[in-house]
Amino acid sequence: MKQQRKIILCGRLYDGVTREWKHNWEILVDGALIAAVGPQVLRPEDAAEIDLSDCQVTPGMIDAHMHMDYIDWHTIREEVYTTSEEAKTLAIARCARMALGRGFTTVRHVGGITSNGYGVLDVKEFIERGYMPGARIVAAPVFLCTAGSHGDLSQGFARNPELSAYMQKQRPGLGSGKAFFANAVREQVKYGTDFIKIMATGGFFTPYDSPVQQQLKDEELEAIITTAHELGKTVTAHVYTRELMQKLIRFGIDGMEHGSLMDRETAAMMEDKGIYLVPTFSPYEEAVHYDPEKIKDKQPEFRKKLELYKDALRAGREVICSSRIRLGYGTDFVATHQNYESGYEYEAWMNSGMSPFDALEAATRTNAGILGLEDRIGTVEPGKYADLAGWKRDLMTDRKALLDCSFVMKEGITYGNLLQEDSGSYPPGNN
């Protein structure tokens, strides 16, 4: 049955095209698409009116760095080996539903933390077919990594070598050698990945590696990037250091995640090549804006590394914020906050001196480009999907405003009650 046309009355509209608020503009939605936008749009007789005159209206938000496959960050380590792949798929579905209810109509899954499987692609398909509510998903189910690396979650069993070796073999993207990784890319493309994710350096979350370690050989990195590009897929990398970031730039990478220990020379190279960075500010906030009490909330190895690298993290943040790099908005919540609480990153941007429009543009138009969906989402323009969010708290002055979504529409359908975690109810309002 064809959806009823809708007129949305906006108190203020940020359309993602210009960095300004448009007062008292209207949006005509026809089916799944935006038909018209302006101070006064044509009003079909059958159109229903949605009054958001008390809201700031934006494009649906996009989180470009999410791990959707865990239930609760407090138990994430236990979930790696104590929950089934089926349970992890259910966690992904729940995450997609909760993200949508918070105004994030699209999310990018950059590899499973607890999961070794491909359930995220099933959830993605079910959402696309309308079988269940949830944010639109762009996914790399499996990241590519080496033994003992940041992507090797069997590190947790390192003092039990037999068990660790067995669990290591369960991760399909873990291996070594140029031939292995070239073939791993081919396999991921066969299974339906949207892009390729590399764990290029160590990290803060895992116990037996360091964020300054290069964890794949140069020839392995080149094989991944070359093979992916031959098959029409983009590549991004978990990476921190200037040295490895510059290598990846020379190898032709499309984008990077974190980049937290970079310098000005690296930023200039990224600017020149148009390479994007999803900096994920939130996980390092307690170190950059030093708060020893909040650091205590994180896992022991995370705490230790934040203390060790806090000055370098602060210097890297300054470089990122003063650069002209194409910055995306992403959260990477694994050590504090639930994976669907994407609004916390907004506060981190503003705490770092970025303007509200910097963050809003990153979470809409820029992220749409990073995901390869710029022709469908990211701005409020005729012909784009009617993905919209309404916010009653002031996005210009309230650093927590993006945590409090008042209205969400995805492809012309409004959704309500998606945040009722206990009931898990699904009453999408087609009004």
- Do residues 44 and 146 both lie within one domain? no
User: Residue 390's beta-bridge partner residues?
Assistant: 57, 407
CATH number at residue 385: 2.30.40.10
Assess contact for 251 and 206: CB atoms under 8 A.
no
- Do residues 16 and 145 both lie within one domain? no
- Do residues 239 and 387 both lie within one domain? no
- DSSP tag of 214: B
Assess contact for 252 and 229: CB atoms under 8 A.
yes
CATH number at residue 105: 3.20.20.140
- Do residues 22 and 147 both lie within one domain? no
- Do residues 23 and 70 both lie within one domain? no
Q: What integer pLDDT is reported at residue 1 of this predicted model?
A: 52
Average pLDDT of adjacent 10-residue blocks, the chain of 431 residues: 86 98 98 97 94 98 98 88 92 98 98 94 98 98 90 74 74 94 98 98 87 96 98 98 98 98 98 98 95 87 91 98 98 94 98 98 98 98 98 97 97 84 40 35
Dihedrals φ, ψ of 175, to 5°? -175, -160
Query: What would the two tokens of residue 215 be?
Result: 């964890």
- Do residues 92 and 147 both lie within one domain? yes
Which residue is listed with tokens 């999961």? 115
* Three-state secondary structure call for residue 248: helix
In a domain, 358, yes or no: no
Q: What integer pLDDT is reported at residue 420 of this predicted model?
A: 56
**DSSP per residue over 295-316, as a string?**
HTTS-HHHHHHHHHHHHHHHHH
- Do residues 123 and 30 both lie within one domain? no
Query: What would the two tokens of residue 328 be?
Result: 């995306």
Query: What would the two tokens of residue 206 be?
Result: 């895992």
In a domain, 257, yes or no: yes
- Do residues 140 and 31 both lie within one domain? no
- Do residues 194 and 312 both lie within one domain? yes
Task: Tell me how many domains the chain contains.
Answer: 2
In a domain, 226, yes or no: yes
Q: Containing domain of residue 55, as a range? A: 6-59+379-414
In a domain, 302, yes or no: yes
- Do residues 147 and 256 both lie within one domain? yes
Pairing of strands 196-199, 235-241: parallel
- Do residues 23 and 172 both lie within one domain? no
User: Residue 258's beta-bridge partner residues?
Assistant: 239
In a domain, 172, yes or no: yes
Number of neighbouring beta carbons within 10 Å of residue 308: 14
pTM here? 0.94
Assess contact for 253 and 205: CB atoms under 8 A.
no
